[in-house]
Structures are given as structure tokens and as C-alpha cells.
A and B are shown apart, each in its own frame.
Chain A
Amino acid sequence: MATQNQHDDKSKMFWRLAQDHYEKGTTPFLCMNLIMYTVGHLIEGLLAARGRHPGAPVRGVPHADRGALLRKHLVGEGLLTDADADRYGEMVVLRDTFIDGGTQDRPFIESYMALARPLIDRLQAVAARS
């Protein structure tokens, strides 16, 4: 399991890449992933500081219960709000259905960035105070 510092370093790396490639107009699918990885590492850094780590489904990737842990610990402690958790949930839902009806386009990634940016700002602020 990664430590809080390792998650923080990766969130910074992914956010730098996400903003750079968003501006360059790189493939929206990749931009969406970079944005989600930024959020994921920010959340997991805060959870790691509390000794909590998301599990993974069998042969899957480790973010199965990230949303539930976020609500229980980060919203529970008052660091985030239900609205923040709902925003994260919406990001997950949109990403999980990425391929329904085709691939993401520029309007999609612009709306995805608009959805993610306030949550990233809030998570970064919470992390800076931790």
C-alpha cells in the first residue's frame, strides 16, 4: 500500500499531466483517466493518513470502496461534505460508462474537468492542512 506522501506525490504528478494534456487537447479518454487518478490519489492520501486503504475486486483495480471510505472517514470527520462525495460518485459513474455509445469527445472532457476541478481544489486544500 502506498503511503500518504507517495499518494500526494502521485496526485501532483497526475494533476500536472492532466492540466497539460487537457490544454493540449490530448485524447479525451486519457485526460479523463489523468483527472480521475489525481482525485483518487488525493483521496487515498487522506485515507492512508488514517490507516485506511481501498480494496480491489478480484483481478480488478483498488478503488472499489474508495467512495464508501471517503463518506465514512472524510465526510464523517467533517473534512468533506456530502456534496463533495456526490461529486466524486458522479465522476466514477461517468467514467465507468465511458464507452457506452462511443468514445469521449472534447465537450465530454470539458464537462468532466468542470466537474472535477472544484473537488480537486477542495481535496488539495484539505491535504495541505493535514
Chain B
Amino acid sequence: MAILKDHLALAETLHADMTGAHRRGEWPIVVDAGFYTVFHGMEAVNATECRDTYSFADAADVLETILVKNGFSEEFASDYRYLFYFRRGAIYGAHVPSDGQVGDYVRRVERCRAAIQSYLGTWTDRLPAGTGKGAAK
């Protein structure tokens, strides 16, 4: 629950954290930072229409009932579900991912991030100054 620019800034910070952790081989941080890169990117999209999600169930519901209709692809929704359940199993559960699985996870994060950036780019002229595409570094 935050405003657009805060979600964007956190998403970009976490993306950098994921990239660095991937280089260092710290899979728990790759998984956590990667998931939240996408989650906060989605929350940034929600903020453009004055929505907040209070739970992961809310986020999945909004994705499937609103964002996909607004132009996010089924591939995006599938990737998000993959990231969510992967994180649940690896962070909370017993699983330890292989290097190959972590690499695939990162590719899905990048694909989702690109879709979010593309979507937010269409909003640039309707957003408050300094919050549009490229504002968060």
C-alpha cells in the first residue's frame, strides 16, 4: 500500500538486488527479490488506477480479473503464478532450487518486468510528473 513512485522505486531496487545476488549465487535473495520486483511492479500498475492489494490473494485476483483484460498477457499471469509458488516452496518450504531453475526464474522475472515497464510507458502522459516510465532508477 503505497503510491506509484514508491512501488516503482522499490521494484527497481529489488531488481538490482536480484541481479547482484544471481551473480553471487545467493539463490534465496534471487528468489525473494525477484518475486517482489514483479509484485511491486504490479502494485505500481494498480496504483495508476487507485487500487491497493492487502494480500497475495488480492494480487492474484486483480491480475486475473483486471490486468489481463487491460492488456497483460496470459503468459504474464502464468509467469507470476510460477514465481509466486516457486518462492513459496523455496523460501517457506523444503525445496532448494538448482542453478538452472534459478536461471529460469530470473528469465521469468525479466519478462514480467519488461511487460510492466511497457504497460506503465503507456501511462506516462497521464501520471504525475516524475513518476512515469524511467523515473525510478
Contact = CB atoms under 8 A, between A and B. Distances in A.
> Chain B's interface: helix, strand, loop or mixed, by majority?
helix
A89 interface: no
B116 interface: no
Interface in A13-59: 13-14, 17, 21, 26-27, 29-30, 33-34, 37, 40, 56-59
A63 B57 contact: no
10 contacts: A3-B94, A26-B17, A29-B10, A56-B88, A57-B57, A58-B57, A59-B57, A60-B57, A63-B92, A99-B2
Given A58-B57, A61-B92, A62-B88, A17 B10 contact: no
Interface string B76-92: 00000000100010011
Contacts of B93: 1-2, 62
B10 A37 contact: no
A3 B6 CA distance: 38
A77 interface: no
A129 B33 CA distance: 34
Interface residues of A, number: 29
A81 interface: no
Contacts of A37: 28, 91-92
Interface string B1-45: 110001001100110010000000010110011001000000000
Contacts of A78: none
Interface of A: 1-3, 6, 13-14, 17, 21, 26-27, 29-30, 33-34, 37, 40, 56-63, 99-103
B14 A27 contact: yes
B55 interface: yes
B60 to A, nearest CB: 5
A28 to B, nearest CB: 10
Contacts of A17: 26, 28-29
A102 B6 CA distance: 6
